[in-house]
Amino acid sequence: MNTQQLTNVEQLSQDFIAFSIEKQVLKFGEFKTKAGRLSPYFFNAGLFNDGESLLKLGEFYYQSIQNSGIEFDMLYGPAYKGITLAAAIAIAFAKNGHNLPYAYNRKEAKDHGEGGLIVGSPLKGRVLIIDDVISAGTSVRESVDLITKNGATPCAVAIALDRQEKGLGELSAVQEVQKLHQLPVCSIANLTDLLQYIQTKQDLAHNMLKVQAYRQQYGVIM
């Protein structure tokens, strides 16, 4: 597809996939997922591991969240990957004129100093949960419980990549989260965007059949 024909949302997704491949965050090969599936691609947001990468990543999340129309009061990033993601996104919003509070959790409660499980701003109002991907939905479930127990309202989830594959049943992992918690989920890119990208790149097109076969076996058409 000619880039001039892409919408702003589609272009954002394509640019993000290109960026992820450039930083080797998105790789092709054979990888075992948490669900025990052998995937022909793997996305590891932990490899956005320098200042420039985090700066750009925050901007991608910012644009995706703005495009979604989600209304919220603060950001929450579950430990561990969600911590740097939430911080990067908060900086991106501040750069664009929106100074937002953010918080994250400790894995274990601190019994000295300020104590507690929550670090950063107190949880209040409408809270947007930040993560990289949704696999089994465990991180979202724990985040929803923690936010609710602190008297705030989980309002949505923002992720980087939606793999669009089955979770525990016939629904995708993202659809399961949406159904269980009644929360909208926005993503910067998804598997459909990934397939669209690699089919236009001569050096990546050889991965097309394997990714399509994986989607045929485990995927959920959104």
Q: Is the dihedral of CA 6, 12, 13, 18 positive or negative?
A: positive
Whole-number Cα distances in Å, 23 to 45, 53, 56? 10, 8, 11
Q: What is the pLDDT along the chain (222 residues), one digit of tens a residue?
A: 344 466 888 999 999 999 999 999 999 999 998 778 999 999 999 999 999 999 999 999 999 999 999 999 999 999 989 999 999 999 999 999 999 999 999 876 655 445 478 999 999 999 999 999 998 788 999 999 999 999 999 999 999 999 999 988 899 999 999 999 999 999 999 999 999 999 999 999 999 999 999 999 999 876
- The residue with tokens 């724990």 is 142
3-state secondary structure of 100: coil
Q: Which residues are catalytic, by number?
A: 110, 112
Q: Let me know: does 195 contact 208? Beta carbons within 8 Å.
A: yes
Contacts with 208 (C-beta within 8 Å, 6 or more apart), sequence order? 195, 198, 199
The terminus-to-terminus CA distance of the chain in angstroms comes to: 20
Nearest Cα to 140, choosing from 173, 170, 164, 163? 173
Question: Phi and psi (nearest 5°) for 72?
Answer: -155, 170
Contacts with 187 (C-beta within 8 Å, 6 or more apart), sequence order? 64, 158, 159, 160, 161, 162, 174
Rounded Cα distance between 130 and 113, Å, is 27
3-state secondary structure of 151: coil
3-state secondary structure of 169: coil
Kindly list the structural domains of the chain, giving each domain's residue range(s) and its CATH number in brackets, ordered by start: 3-218 (3.40.50.2020)
